[in-house]
Each structure stands twice: as structure tokens, then as C-alpha cells.
Structure 1
């Protein structure tokens, strides 16, 4: 087989890149090791920045998003038994976030690509990427017992942290990472949300977050030790702990059947550069941020927006300037987002090594954010997403 751009990974980054390239008349093939059902159902991020929503509208993929997505114009910081609203839209000239689950974004993108004649190979086994430093890289894979070799001009590695493409970076690439001494126990529950906006709670027992996916589905998180056994967290223990941490200002945490639950570690990760030869990494293959700032999906969207523009310019003019600048352009935003996510994480979580002095520093930071218009504006403009340059 032959295509212009081979895309490894059918998550939001890979599918959106394929769609953007299609709009520019550039051929692509997407190869995904998981089934379509799996990628369309896995629950991940759920907060879309303003620029992400604007892009999906611009390219005609926001019909369902506009019907079912939940715009939010503020968030609450809850500590010492008092809730403080950060009016994000008021502080950022009307910019907002929209709650719309990643699985829905993937569903919309998949349907659009297949309806447009896109080639997406799910359940691809033995995916191997070859010759990325040559002018004709290749991707080998097997689908339904049939082996295929795909020749291309460029490979886009959109296959996540555990995918095959990141391992192709040379030894000279820098890997910068930080592990946090806690994780998040996340639950999806058939229960009415605590509020119609997100609540970030700082509590002596640990951080908690009350989010939502619809008017009848709640997404809730508890800070826990990352080595905790999920079996030690029966449903009622989860509800009791959420009630303690989020109900500190008199709010009621509505209980209901827990549809799924998991414990995920918290880490920051960046690889530099995000390019090696004709291989370009995007999304979680290149960087991971702690979820406190709700940035992972949005960073992936920005990556492929930059990459699609660079590829379009290259095919149209032969100039590699955009491709050469891809990594630097993306990493500038990655590090801004890493800092914001680290700052939110550091301000809101209980660190086991912190003494009373450091805990008071956290309280002082929280007090400053909710009492200073300048500090609140800084949080708001980063949370809704700084405009793309």
C-alpha cells in the first residue's frame, strides 16, 4: 500500500489529524491496535478548551458537541468549608470550557472519517514502523491475518505513551518526567452531578474533584495512594469519602450505581524533540500532564493542528520550515501547560512529605487565588486555554 501520511493510533490525535489532512487533499491511513468499540467507549478526558471547540466547529464536526456538550463558564475552589467560584468567562472575555467526553469526540471523528472514505484499520496486530530517517518510511501491520506493508512520506505517532512510535526516538532525545506520590481513584456514576460546574476540593484527607458527563452522569475523583488496591474501595466507601471531602460546605454528593472505577497514577512526561526524521509524535506519545488542569486531550488537538498545517505547507510548496519548527512550536505550549498542571496539582493535593509549614503555604496560595482578580484571571485564562498563536 502507499499513502502520503501513515498515522499510528486512532485516538483523538490520530483521527483528527487524518480529518484535517483530508480537508487539505492529503491522503492518510490510520492504523489502530484496539477495536473500534474499545476506542469509542474508553472513558478518558472530558473537558474541551475554547480553541478545541472552535476548531471542531470550523471543520464541521461539532453538531453533536453543540447539542450534547455542556459549556461551563466557571469552576469552584473548595477549601476550609467554603466554596469560591472562579468566573472564567468573565475574566477571559467570554472564553469557556465544554464538558464532552473523549469517547464522544472519538466517535464523532471516526464516523466522519469513515463517511468521508477514510482508511482506518482497527485491531491491527504486530505494528512495526521502519526507516523513519529515510524519505520513504514504512508501517507494517496485520489485520485479520493479512500482513500489510504501508509505504508513506511521513509517519505520525499518535499511539499514546505505551505505543510503538515513541520507542523510535534516538538515544539523544531528552526524556523529562516527574512521578507524583499519589494517584486518582476515578468513578463514573449514574448519579446527578453535585453542581452544574466543576468543584476542586482541597481537604485534609486529600484532594477531590466533582465533575460530570451529562445531567444524569457524574465523574468523580479522589486522591489516593497510587498503590491502593481497588478491591479495598467498595462503592459505599467511595461515596462516604466523596461526601466528606466535597460535602464540606454543605453540598450533597448524590449517590447512584457506579458504572466503572479505576486508579491511575499521576505523572508529568515530556520527550524532546517530538520529531525524528520523518516521524512526528503527537499527543500522549510525546507528553503527558497530570489531569488536574484538564489539558491532555487539548494538547493533542493543538499538536495535530500544528502538524497538519506544516504538512499542508510542505506538500503545497516543498518548504520544510513548518516541519522543522513543529517540535519547538508544540513544546512551547506543552511546557506552559505542564507548568499550569503542576501548579494546580501542587496547590490542591496533600503531599505525604509536607509538614504544617508547607500545608500553610498551600492555603496561602488558595486564599490568594480566590481573593486576587489578577491571580484568578491567570487561573481562568490557562484553564479555558490560552489562544493558539
Structure 2
């Protein structure tokens, strides 16, 4: 097989990049290691920044998003049994966020790709990226029981933190930065209408809790727990009781309970890979960076990556200039580190420390109080949460 851009990974990053390239007249092929059914049912994030929504609309992938997405004008912070609303449009000049599950985005992009798009191969396991430092890189992959080769002008690794794209970078030319937080999230999906109109970020005495949703009838909730937590130790009633305690406020509000349909445990870690380019191999999405989910940046950062890449490939296609591709790693990492900083600060501010440090405890409350009482501090949070403008 032969193509201009070989894309490893059929998640939202790889699929959106393929869609943007196709609309710009740049041919590409997407290799996805899993089945279509698996790809369409991977449970991931569901909060979309304004720029992510705009990008999906611009490439014709927002029909269901506009019909079914839940537009939110802010979030609620809870601490000391108080409620504080952060009004995004008032603080950012009209920007909002939208709740629409990543699984639905993938379904929408796959449908578009198969109906009107470049080749998308399922159960095509990438084995290696070869000769990325040359003008003719290739991806060796296994499909339908045999090994094949995809010859490319460029390769983009959107294959996540355990994919093969990162392995093609020379060890001496790479630096990785990681941080593991000393807690995890116990997440549940429940068949019950959300108890709130917007997301609730709560810092209770027992730790952090988040109330989110997937639809008007499905709630998504999280609890801070130790990293070594056994889900078997958390029956449904215990989860609901702990959520209610952490969301508790001195006001008329009730946490609605319902059947729990799924439970999961999510580690809280940050990881950044530098650089994001080696020869004609580029990284995007989770292959390039991972952030803790507190700031809802993972999916949105992946979309920002591929928007920058698509712009760079379009410039190459139209003018022959590689200038934007040469700048991709630097410009992308500047944005990644800002999002990593925001996610780290949100995480540290809202989670109780397992060692029970009273000094840190008072600092966290001071940060929260500052946001609740200062328009400037609230505006800084709102600007980062709704998404910083894409660099030009």
C-alpha cells in the first residue's frame, strides 16, 4: 500500500486527522488495531472545549453533536459545604463547553470515514515504524492474517501511550516527563438523571468527587480513592453514600441514586514526550502526552494536536513548504505544557492529600476561596477550562 500520510490509530485523534486531511485533498490511510465494535465502545472522556466543537463542525462531523450534545455555561465548585458557580460565558466572552461522549465522536467519524473518506483498516495491528528519518518511512502491520507494509511520505502516531510509534524515536533523542499522583478515581456510570445542570467539582472531607453526565438520563460520577483500591470493596450503596457525603452542602440539594451499570478505576498521572517529531514521524494525542482527567484536557489536547498537524499538511500540500511541520513539535508542546499545568493545579487543589498534611489542606482551601471571590482568578480558570486559542 502507498499513501501520503499513514495514520496509526483509529481513535478520535487519528480519525479526525484523516477527516481533515481528506477534506483538504491530502490522501491518507488509517490503521486501527482493534475491531470496529471495540473502537466504537471504548469509554473515555465526554467534555468538549469550544475549539473541539468548532473543529468537529468545520469537518462535517457535528450533526449528532449539535442535536444531542449538552451545552454547559459553567461548572460548580463545592467546598466547606458551599456552592460556587463559575460562569464561563461571562468570564470568557461567550465560550462554553459541551458534554458529548468520546464514544459518540468515534462513531460519527467512523461512519463518515467509511461512507466518504480515505481507507480505514480495522484489526490492522501496527508492528513497527521503519526508516522514519528518511524521505520514505513505512509502517509494517498485520492485517487479515499476514504482514503488510504501508509506504508513506509521513507517518503520524495516534496509537496511544502503549503504541509502536513512540518506540521508533531514538532513545538518546527523547526526554519524557512523568508525574504520578498518590490517588486514583473510582468512576461509575448510572442509569439515573443527573442531579445537576452542570458539572460539580467537590472537595469534601473524605476527598474529591465529580458529578458529570453522559445524557439527560445517564450520570457519570467519580470518587477519589487510593491507587490500590479493589473495586470489590466498593458495593453500590457504599459508593452512593460516599458521593452524597462529599457533595453535601448547607442548601436544599439531593444526590439522585440509580442502578450502577459500570465501574472503573483510573490512575492519575501526567506524561509528556519530547520532542513530538523524529524525521517524518510525528506524534499526536495520548502517544504524545497524558494528563490527569481533572481538567478534562485529554481529548481536547488530541484535537488541538491534529488541528495543528492538518494545518501543516495543508500548507505542505498547497505550497510545498515544511515550515509548519518544522514548528509542530515546539508549538504543540507549548500548548501541552499549559494544559498539563492547568490539569496538575486543578488536581492538587481539589484532592485531599493521603498523608493528611494540614498545611497543604489550608492552601487548597485558600486557592478555592480565591477563585470563588475573585473575578480575575475565576476568569483564569474559565479560560483554561474552555480551551486556550489555537496558536497561529
Class of the TM-score when normalised by the shorter of the 2 chains: over 0.9
User: Alpha-carbon deviation of 1:64?
Assistant: 0.5
Matches within 5 A, 1:22-171: 22-125=22-125, 127-171=127-171
TM-score (structure 1 length as normaliser): 0.98
Q: Structure 2: 5+ residue runs without aligned partners?
A: none
User: Alpha-carbon deviation of 1:126?
Assistant: 5.4
For residues 23 and 163 of structure 1, the distance between their equivalents in structure 2, rounded to whole angstroms, comes to: 27
Deviation string, structure 1 residues 74-101 (Cα, Å, up to 9, x no partner) = 1000011111101111111110000000
Q: Is the contact between residue 15 and residue 109 of structure 2 (CA under 8 Å) also seen in structure 1?
A: yes
Q: Is the contact between residue 289 and residue 336 of structure 2 (CA under 8 Å) also seen in structure 1?
A: yes
Bigger mean CA deviation after superposition, 107-116 or 119-128: 119-128
Find the partner of 1:300 among 294, 299, 302. 302
Q: Is the contact between residue 31 and residue 125 of structure 2 (CA under 8 Å) also seen in structure 1?
A: no
The answer on 1:256 being equivalent to 2:258 is: yes
How many residues of Structure 1 are paired with residues of Structure 2 in the alignment? 389
Q: CA RMSD in A?
A: 1.1
User: Alpha-carbon deviation of 1:311?
Assistant: 1.2
1:5 is aligned to 5
2:273 is aligned to 271
For residues 62 and 186 of structure 1, the distance between their equivalents in structure 2, rounded to whole angstroms, comes to: 27
Find the partner of 1:316 among 294, 315, 318. 318
The DSSP-based 3-state class of the residue aligned with 1:202 is: strand
For residues 355 and 316 of structure 2, the distance between their equivalents in structure 1, rounded to whole angstroms, comes to: 51
For residues 3 and 126 of structure 2, the distance between their equivalents in structure 1, rounded to whole angstroms, comes to: 19
Q: Is the contact between residue 126 and residue 139 of structure 2 (CA under 8 Å) also seen in structure 1?
A: no
For residues 388 and 173 of structure 1, the distance between their equivalents in structure 2, rounded to whole angstroms, comes to: 25
Deviation string, structure 1 residues 175-201 (Cα, Å, up to 9, x no partner) = 011000001011111111120100000
For residues 149 and 134 of structure 1, the distance between their equivalents in structure 2, rounded to whole angstroms, comes to: 16
The DSSP-based 3-state class of the residue aligned with 1:181 is: strand
For residues 136 and 259 of structure 1, the distance between their equivalents in structure 2, rounded to whole angstroms, comes to: 48
For residues 133 and 354 of structure 1, the distance between their equivalents in structure 2, rounded to whole angstroms, comes to: 50
Q: Structure 1: 5+ residue runs without aligned partners?
A: none
Q: Is the contact between residue 46 and residue 100 of structure 2 (CA under 8 Å) also seen in structure 1?
A: yes
User: Alpha-carbon deviation of 1:353?
Assistant: 3.0
The DSSP-based 3-state class of the residue aligned with 1:329 is: helix
The answer on 1:203 being equivalent to 2:204 is: yes
The answer on 1:224 being equivalent to 2:228 is: no
For residues 309 and 143 of structure 1, the distance between their equivalents in structure 2, rounded to whole angstroms, comes to: 30
User: Alpha-carbon deviation of 1:315?
Assistant: 2.4
2:289 is aligned to 287
User: Alpha-carbon deviation of 1:146?
Assistant: 3.2
User: Alpha-carbon deviation of 1:354?
Assistant: 4.4
For residues 190 and 106 of structure 1, the distance between their equivalents in structure 2, rounded to whole angstroms, comes to: 22
Bigger mean CA deviation after superposition, 351-360 or 174-183: 351-360
